[in-house]
Amino acid sequence: MTGQPPPAIEFIGIDKRFGAVHANRDIDLVIEAGTVHGLVGENGAGKSTLMSILYGFYAADRGEIRIHGRKARIASSADAIRLGIGMVHQQFMLVETMSVLENVLLGAEGSQRIAPAEKRARAALARLAADYELAVDPDAIVADLSVGEQQRVEILKTLYRGAEILILDEPTAVLTPAEANHLFRILRRLTAEGKTILLITHKLKEIMAVTDRVSVMRAGEIVADFATKETTIERLAEAMVGRRVLLEVDKGPSVPGGVELSVEDLVVTDKRGVRVVDGVSLEVRSGEIVGVAGVAGNGQSELIEAIAGIRRPSGGRIVLGGHDVGGLDPAEVRDLGLAHIPEDRHRMGLVLDFSAEENMLLGHEDDPAWAHGLLLDRGAIRRAAVAAFDAFDIRPDDPTLRAALFSGGNQQKIVVAREVARSPRVLVVGQPTRGVDIGAIEAIHRRLIELRDQGHAILLVSAELDEIRSLADRVLAMCQGRITGECRPDASETEIGLLMAGAKNAEARA
């Protein structure tokens, strides 16, 4: 052994089962110090389990972990922190009503009296801010910070506790492109100072942009390990799914027809009286897909729920195929030709305890096709479900199974199959591929384009900019309840990103 430093983390033969689920199979993985190492894989591939073992949430059944060359026993997150491992969770673990300084100190006060600890922390924060572009006002209340700033507070917390190894779980899911770029700059600075970053993400573009090495997990195993320079997005996707996938959606130009859905000056207020949708106007024509891009939580959910009749608008008009539908209930809006694929299939789109075929009834339970006198015609329901399972290649191929037993992708296909079955005039789609594996994404995207080509009007809301850009014919950006601009889908990511961040920011940075 020469002067080469030992790897930051070595997983040696890590094995973990949950009941019959083999979540991690004999994982060997080396993370070199001072690098950004990407870990990708579909939902349920075992990434989270592996990270939970590293952070002390679970104990591995077999195998060992070495940190900086030394065998480590990690029985709790406290052990992990002592070993210099810090974790930035996807859901932030911050006390929103406290200041940045207090959050950073929380659990690391080091003394009974707060004042000296605060003084130390203040000095440390100033140093960290200067070193790593991690500037956040230490006295600001966390609730007042932007999401990107809150994430910086999370990183500051781990660094303040002396983290040498940072695990980031899907860190860009809630960031605008500009904020994501800022994060990547911070990651670069951290590795330059010798820190090690383990980045978990499903966005392959980010892997290519920021990592040094990348490992791919599938079904509990590491199936590929590349130097990022020597691989491509296509090869990563193939390794993740286990077969070749079509990442680019093949579509011709749109042929827009008449206006099917028009929204004028729509206002939706939430319980606190905040205008979460603040004067939105838009039009969707038949034969086109209009994409609404925006960081999650900027009023998109409320917009589609208002169109679908779930939320009552407090102002403005919604016109669906010539009918004013503002204030109608979801069943009435559906009868007028609207189909709605909701953002959250577990909470809204499905009844997980029902069988798949019963879920095909949801929202259409009053369809005379199912009526057999006073009873439901089980034969007709079964036939429709079987046909939908065939048409959408839903697996396992058994509509009598409970919806909860299907994978995310197949659950989403059940929702899509149900919603498009009656050839709706307008289709409103929220986050159609969130938590969906790549294979199913491909199928769902193809289906949406087909529907567009058949002349349906589609309004697509997604937090995935890539999805919007590859599917939409026109892109609207939404920020803080307002449409901040419209652009073509081939506009640069920066341009759309600036619109998503709000017009004011766009002007400021121009």
Q: Which of 141, 420, 480, 133 is nearest to 277 (CA)?
A: 480
Report the residue number, 7 or 435, with the smaller CB distance to other proteins: 435
Q: Which of 340, 289, 264 is nearest to 476 (CA)?
A: 289
Name the segment binding other proteins (CB under 8 A); options: 67-75, 156-164, 179-187, 333-341. Answer: 333-341
Minimum separation from the CB atom of position 439 to other proteins (A): 15
Report the residue number, 117 or 421, with the smaller CB distance to other proteins: 421
Note whether 220 binds other proteins by CB under 8 A.
Answer: no
Q: Which of 250, 236, 239, 80 is nearest to 167 (CA)?
A: 80
Note whether 380 binds other proteins by CB under 8 A.
Answer: no
Name the segment binding other proteins (CB under 8 A); options: 92-100, 110-118, 401-409, 475-483. Answer: 401-409
Q: Which position among 12, 98, 362, 487 is part of the footprint of other proteins (CB under 8 A)?
A: 362
Report the residue number, 115 or 374, with the smaller CB distance to other proteins: 374
Q: Which residue has the tokens 């809630």?
A: 174
Q: What is the DSSP letter of 368?
A: G
User: Where are the alpha helices (H) located in 133-243, listed in sequence order?
Assistant: 147-160, 177-192, 204-210, 233-241
Residue type at 351 in one-letter notation = V
Q: Which position among 59, 255, 371, 391 is part of the footprint of other proteins (CB under 8 A)?
A: 371
Minimum separation from the CB atom of position 366 to other proteins (A): 6
Q: Which position among 41, 256, 342, 481 is part of the footprint of other proteins (CB under 8 A)?
A: 342
Q: Which position among 70, 127, 378, 488 is part of the footprint of other proteins (CB under 8 A)?
A: 378
Write the binding mask 403 to 442 for other proteins: x where contact by CB under 8 A, - elsewhere.
-xxxx-----------------------------------
- 150 is written with which tokens? 């809150």
Report the residue number, 44 or 177, with the smaller CB distance to other proteins: 44
| Maximum distance among all Cα pairs of the chain, rounded to whole angstroms | 84
Mention every residue, 6+ apart, whose C-beta is less than 8 A from residue 7.
Answer: 30, 31, 32, 33, 66, 68, 69
Task: Provide the Cα torsion 208, 211, 214, 220; round to 10°.
Answer: -100
Gap between the Cα atoms of 449 and 460, Å rounded: 11
Note whether 274 binds other proteins by CB under 8 A.
Answer: no
Q: Which position among 265, 366, 390, 453 is part of the footprint of other proteins (CB under 8 A)?
A: 366
Gap between the Cα atoms of 396 and 195, Å rounded: 44
Note whether 331 binds other proteins by CB under 8 A.
Answer: yes
Q: Which position among 8, 121, 325, 361 is part of the footprint of other proteins (CB under 8 A)?
A: 361
Gap between the Cα atoms of 87 and 83, Å rounded: 12
Name the segment binding other proteins (CB under 8 A); options: 27-35, 126-134, 330-338, 497-505. Answer: 330-338
Gap between the Cα atoms of 309 and 289, Å rounded: 21
Minimum separation from the CB atom of position 463 to other proteins (A): 20
Gap between the Cα atoms of 369 and 264, Å rounded: 35
Q: Which position among 37, 203, 285, 340 is part of the footprint of other proteins (CB under 8 A)?
A: 340
- Is the preceding omega at residue 253 within 30 degrees of 0, hence cis? no
Minimum separation from the CB atom of position 350 to other proteins (A): 7
- 87 is written with which tokens? 């974790």
Q: Which position among 11, 55, 184, 370 is part of the footprint of other proteins (CB under 8 A)?
A: 370
Write the binding mask 21 to 60 for other proteins: x where contact by CB under 8 A, - elsewhere.
x----------------------x----------------
Gap between the Cα atoms of 282 and 477, Å rounded: 11
User: 23, 59 in Cβ contact below 8 A?
Assistant: no
User: 299, 478 in Cβ contact below 8 A?
Assistant: yes
β-pair partners for 479: 482
Report the residue number, 1 or 374, with the smaller CB distance to other proteins: 374
Q: Which position among 349, 399, 424, 485 is part of the footprint of other proteins (CB under 8 A)?
A: 349
Gap between the Cα atoms of 105 and 161, Å rounded: 9
Note whether 402 binds other proteins by CB under 8 A.
Answer: yes
Minimum separation from the CB atom of position 403 to other proteins (A): 10
Gap between the Cα atoms of 425 and 34, Å rounded: 54
Q: Which position among 113, 271, 272, 347 is part of the footprint of other proteins (CB under 8 A)?
A: 347
Name the segment binding other proteins (CB under 8 A); options: 14-22, 54-62, 151-159, 240-248. Answer: 14-22
User: 232, 263 in Cβ contact below 8 A?
Assistant: no
- Contacting residues toward other proteins, per CB under 8 A: 17-21, 44, 308-310, 329-334, 340, 342, 347-354, 358, 361-363, 365-366, 370-371, 374-376, 378, 402, 404-407
